[in-house]
């Protein structure tokens, strides 16, 4: 498979209806969406396969939204899509993309995002990270030209902890998978629990390889028996491998949260308020499936570009980046508040829905968690917590 | 003092010969209308509607009431005396909000899911025109002379200006994020558009379609992100606007000459829309999340009562009963 999978879909709209006023003039905006194909690790259940077009459909919906707005202003948008095969060099593909446009949306793991951002050609481009939740990208390994529309693990962990504090579920136990991503997510949860003053107790690693569909009822009670007492059990299972078998099988009857049970998400089909129902139905119509986290992150990236183009009338990466990082920028993201970018690390501030499969439970930031700037900054790396310096100057 | 209660009972029983004016409230998640008796400030009738009723407006002579039944994809025409649905109008998909033209005949309907404004002739019950607008059209207004119709689109963040002769757009003007409601004021010389996420009201000069003023809101101890202007209505003579501020749970009183906010009034949770009584001395606001209606005394600018209605009250419309 030394083959570059390159799909190019160009949508173009030059139709101008009525007279255009506001930030008008003819502007053509090309956005390139690059997705690194990452094979999913084997999981115990195949009940919820990861859609192959995850992320991509969000970018396409964002493009449609931009085109509809642009046609009243003489502004046109196009989207180029490239899927990078597993053994392909992501940086080289990015280099080729940068020769055509300075506006990229990346759906890729941390290493690929860094490789792309460190290309000399990217020095004046604007890259959106819509696929990597790693805290390092928002801290010591941040890059000045990379903005993040996907929330970090820290934002999600903080959202959960605010809920526990509110409900006075003070004592926490945790089980995590043995993959590096599981441990990273578990570490983030533990750090967050301590930050919010919760009592973090036992932590165990799930290292079984049994087929839990058959004997979860026998294994999980035993496995959780020595966790001691706790109010809520956190499960850190980034690949969605074993988490689904934990609920109702714990030794003590306790709620489960994290990768199962009560989950902090970027987006989920149960999110309905604040006009979200409209976004959901437009997405369903386009993709024939519910919108997920990375769809939302890609949508938000393309829409952020659209919003900045609408307001500035410009299409160059420099002007758009300056505008997005200014106080004037705000994105209507169907989460009940305007979304803005953090000036110190380029993270898109956003509420985090806490959901179970059937309903929205709460949306963080929860009432009572205050911040001098905005309550949204009670989630994730606040300015003093981030080691990012690339945005200073 | 048992007499008023008896009167209410009698009125409720007689139903078709109601004696007091009413406020009609659509309950988005109950598929009903709650009818509030303005004298007793109580719900005297609950009427079934189609699915997810939102926009509500009476014909100019109050002989029928039009209801946007969004999830039924219909505008329903109801006899307000009997509560009977007379017929549906073709409305396009997912009608959310609408406005009745001064000719008392043409409805301009925002089709939220389709990025279309549909114009319906209520007499022939046919679609006269469909106009492409921005994404998620919602706010609707018609100028008093009937020459201009406005649709605001939430995701496109624009006010679209429609020439009602040709049923075509003649201007598109940007406003702040998520415009929700539009009204022509001062004999049609000004157009006001509220922006929910932007947190502002933009005032346009209608003759030139240019921005004339922008109104900002600031509620003490509430983060600006949660101050989200939605519906608004004007007092007699357009001296003041009462503006619903969504999840800040307040209504602002804006001086319509200076564009300054004079006061904030605490109401129920996530306040949406509103309407006045006959002489505009009382204002009724729908509070979506708390499921009630707040009655505001306009002179003192104080809330005087909360009235429990159905789930997620959305639209409000005044009905005289004489």
Q: What is the pLDDT of residues A205-253, one digit of tens each?
A: 987 665 555 566 778 988 899 999 999 999 999 988 889 999 999 999 9
- Say how many C-beta atoms besides its own lie within 10 A of residue B173's C-beta: 23
pLDDT at A272 over 50: yes
State percent of chain B over pLDDT 70: 94
SS (H, E, C) chain A: CCCCCCCCCCCCCCCCCCCECCCCCCEEEEEEEEEECCCCCCCCCCCCCCCCCCCHHHHHHHHHHHHHHHCCCCEEEEEEEEEECCCCCHHHHHHHHHCCCCEEEEECCHHHHHHHHCCHHHHHCEEEECCCCCCHHHCCCCCCCEEECCCCHHHHHHHHHHHHHHHCCCEEEEEEECCHHHHHHHHHHHHHHHHCCCEEEEEEEECCCCCHHHHHHHHHHHHHHCCCCCCEEEEECCCCCCHHHCCCCCCCCCCEEECCCEEECCCCCCCCCCCHHHHHHHHHHHHCCCCCHHHHHHHHHHHHHHHHHHHHCCCCHHHHHHHHCCCCCCEECCCCCEECECCCCCEECCCEEEEECCEEEEEECCCCCCCCCCHHHHCCCCHHHCCCCCCCC
Tell me the mean pLDDT in the region A250-270: 97
CB contact under 8 A, A18 and B170: yes
Contacts of A72 in chain B (CB under 8 A): 134, 156, 158, 160, 172
CA A295 to chain B, closest CA, distance in angstroms equals: 17
Give pLDDT, residue B34: 98
Contacts of B160 in chain A (CB under 8 A): 18, 72
CB contact under 8 A, A22 and B247: no
In our burial notation (b when 16+ CB lie closer than 10 A, e otherwise), range A273-294 reads: bbbbbbbbebbeebbeeebbbb
Contacts of A337 in chain B (CB under 8 A): 197, 225-226
Give pLDDT, residue A6: 41
Return the higher-pLDDT residue of A20 and B273: B273
Indicate the domain borders of chain A. Answer: 27-151+268-350, 154-264
Give pLDDT, residue A1: 35
Tell me the mean pLDDT in the region A134-153: 97
Query: CB-based contacts of A168: which residues, under 8 Å, 6+ apart?
Result: A231
Q: What is the pLDDT of residues B245-268, one digit of tens each?
A: 999 999 999 999 999 999 999 999
Q: Which helix (H) or strand (E) holds B292?
A: strand B292-297
pLDDT at B2 over 90: no
Distance CA A82, CA A35 (A): 6
Q: Which residue among B113, B172, B174 sits closest to A278, beta carbon to beta carbon?
A: B113
Contacts of B168 in chain A (CB under 8 A): 18
CA B210 to chain A, closest CA, distance in angstroms equals: 9
Tell me the mean pLDDT in the region A278-298: 97
Give pLDDT, residue B3: 45
Q: What is the pLDDT of residues A357-391, one digit of tens each?
A: 999 999 999 999 999 999 999 999 999 999 999 99
Lowest mean pLDDT among A150-159, B7-16, B28-37: B7-16
Contacts of B132 in chain A (CB under 8 A): 17
Q: Assess A338–B contact: CB distance below 8 Å, yes or no.
A: yes
Lowest mean pLDDT among A7-11, A149-153, A355-359, B206-210: A7-11
pLDDT category at B7 given cuts 50, 70, 90 is very low
| Of A169, A179, A225, residue with least CA distance to A202 | A225
Q: Which residue among A18, A20, A332 sits closest to B178, beta carbon to beta carbon?
A: A332
Q: Assess B173–A contact: CB distance below 8 Å, yes or no.
A: yes
Query: What CATH number should be reported for the domain whose range is A27-151+268-350?
Result: 3.40.50.2300
Contacts of B312 in chain A (CB under 8 A): none
CB contact under 8 A, B174 and A336: no
Tell me the mean pLDDT in the region B48-56: 96
Spell out the alpha helix ranges (H) of chain B. Answer: 3-14
pLDDT at A349 over 80: yes
pLDDT category at A43 given cuts 50, 70, 90 is confident
Lowest mean pLDDT among A96-110, B216-230, B286-300: B216-230
Instruction: For chains A and B, count residue pairs whose Cβ atoms are closer than 8 Å.
Output: 86
Total length of chain B: 322
Return the higher-pLDDT residue of A137 and A207: A137
Q: Assess B174–A contact: CB distance below 8 Å, yes or no.
A: yes
CB contact under 8 A, A22 and B173: yes
Work out the end-to-end distance of chain A between its first and last CA atoms, rounded to an integer number of angstroms. 44
Average pLDDT, chain A: 91
Lowest mean pLDDT among A23-37, A161-175, A325-339: A23-37
State percent of chain A over pLDDT 70: 91
Q: Which residue has 């003649």 as its token pair?
A: B170
| Domains A27-151+268-350 and A154-264 in one fold | yes
Give pLDDT, residue A211: 55
Contacts of A275 in chain B (CB under 8 A): 136, 154, 178
Q: Which residue among A72, A337, A338 sits closest to B134, beta carbon to beta carbon?
A: A72
Average pLDDT, chain B: 93
Chain A CA closest to residue B170: A18
Tell me the mean pLDDT in the region A250-262: 97
pLDDT category at A256 given cuts 50, 70, 90 is very high
pLDDT at B233 over 90: yes
Give pLDDT, residue A25: 60
Domain A154-264 has CATH 3.40.50.2300: yes
Tell me the mean pLDDT in the region B34-50: 97
Q: Which residue among B177, B209, B247 sits closest to A330, beta carbon to beta carbon?
A: B177
Give pLDDT, residue A26: 85
Chain A CA closest to residue B225: A337
Q: Which residue among B115, B169, B178 sits closest to A68, beta carbon to beta carbon?
A: B115
Q: What is the pLDDT of residues A44-60, one digit of tens each?
A: 888 888 999 999 999 99
Tell me the mean pLDDT in the region B156-179: 96
CB contact under 8 A, A338 and B226: no
């Amino acid at each position: 498979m030394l083959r570059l999978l390159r799909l190019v879909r160009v949508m173009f709209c030059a139709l101008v209806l009525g007279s255009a006023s506001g930030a008008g003039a003819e502007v053509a905006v090309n956005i390139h969406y690059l997705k690194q194909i990452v094979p999913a690790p084997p999981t115990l259940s195949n009940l919820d396969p990861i859609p192959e077009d995850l992320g991509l459909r969000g970018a396409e919906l964002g493009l449609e939204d931009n085109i509809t707005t642009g046609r009243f202003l003489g502004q046109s948008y196009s989207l180029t899509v490239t899927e990078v095969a597993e053994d392909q060099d992501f940086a080289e593909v990015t280099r080729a993309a940068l020769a055509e446009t300075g506006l990229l949306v990346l759906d890729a793991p941390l290493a690929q995002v860094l490789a792309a951002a460190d290309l000399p050609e990217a020095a004046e481009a604007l890259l959106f990270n819509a696929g990597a939740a790693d805290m390092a990208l928002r801290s010591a390994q941040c890059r000045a030209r990379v903005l993040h529309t996907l929330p970090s693990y820290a934002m999600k962990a903080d959202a959960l902890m605010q809920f526990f504090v509110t409900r006075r579920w003070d004592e926490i136990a945790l089980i995590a998978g043995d993959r590096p991503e599981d441990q990273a997510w578990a570490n983030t949860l533990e750090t967050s629990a301590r930050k919010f003053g919760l009592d973090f107790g036992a932590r165990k690693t799930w290292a079984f390889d049994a087929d839990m569909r058959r004997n979860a009822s026998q294994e999980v009670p035993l496995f959780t028996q020595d966790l001691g007492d706790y109010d809520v059990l956190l499960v850190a299972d980034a690949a969605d491998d074993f988490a689904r078998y934990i609920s109702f099988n714990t030794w003590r009857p306790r709620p489960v949260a994290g990768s199962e049970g009560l989950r902090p998400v970027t987006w989920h089909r149960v999110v309905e308020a604040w006009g979200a129902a409209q976004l959901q139905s437009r997405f369903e119509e386009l993709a024939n499936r519910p919108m997920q986290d990375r769809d939302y992150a890609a949508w938000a990236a393309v829409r952020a570009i659209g919003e900045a183009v609408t307001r500035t009338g410009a299409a160059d990466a420099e002007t758009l980046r300056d505008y997005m990082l200014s106080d004037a920028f705000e994105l209507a993201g169907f989460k009940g508040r305007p979304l803005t970018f953090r000036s110190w690390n380029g993270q898109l501030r956003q509420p985090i829905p806490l959901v179970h499969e059937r309903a929205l439970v709460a949306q963080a930031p929860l009432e009572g968690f205050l911040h001098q700037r905005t309550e949204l900054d009670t989630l994730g790396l606040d300015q003093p917590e981030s080691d990012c310096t690339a945005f200073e100057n | 003092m048992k007499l008023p209660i008896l009167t209410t009972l009698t009125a409720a029983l007689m139903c078709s010969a109601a004696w007091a004016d009413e406020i009609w409230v659509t309950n988005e998640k109950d598929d009903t209308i709650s009818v509030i008796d303005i004298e007793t400030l109580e719900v005297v009738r609950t009427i079934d509607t189609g699915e997810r009723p939102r926009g509500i407006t009476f014909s100019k002579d109050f002989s029928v009431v039009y209801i946007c039944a969004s999830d039924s994809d219909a505008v329903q025409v109801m006899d307000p005396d009997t509560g009977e649905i007379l017929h549906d109008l073709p409305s396009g998909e997912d009608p959310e909000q609408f406005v009745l033209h001064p000719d008392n005949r043409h409805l301009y309907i925002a089709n939220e899911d389709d990025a279309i404004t549909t114009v319906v002739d209520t007499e022939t019950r046919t679609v006269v025109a469909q106009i492409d607008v921005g994404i998620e059209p919602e706010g609707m207004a018609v100028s008093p002379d009937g020459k201009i119709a406005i649709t605001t689109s939430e995701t496109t963040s624009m006010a679209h200006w429609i020439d009602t002769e040709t049923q075509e757009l003649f201007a598109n003007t940007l406003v702040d994020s998520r415009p929700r409601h539009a009204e022509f004021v001062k004999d049609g010389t000004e157009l006001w558009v509220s922006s929910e996420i932007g947190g502002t009201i933009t005032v346009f000069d209608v003759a030139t379609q240019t921005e004339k003023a922008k109104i900002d809101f600031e509620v003490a101890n509430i983060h600006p992100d949660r101050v989200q202007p939605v519906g608004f209505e004007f007092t007699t003579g357009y001296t003041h606007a009462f503006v619903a501020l969504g999840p800040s749970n307040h209504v602002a009183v804006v001086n319509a000459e200076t564009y300054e906010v004079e006061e904030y009034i605490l109401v129920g949770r996530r306040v949406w829309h509103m309407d006045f009584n006959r002489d505009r001395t009382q204002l009724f606001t729908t509070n979506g999340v708390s499921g009630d209606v707040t009655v505001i005394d306009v002179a003192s600018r104080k809330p005087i009562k909360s009235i429990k209605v159905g789930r997620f009250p959305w639209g409000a419309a005044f009905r005289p009963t004489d």
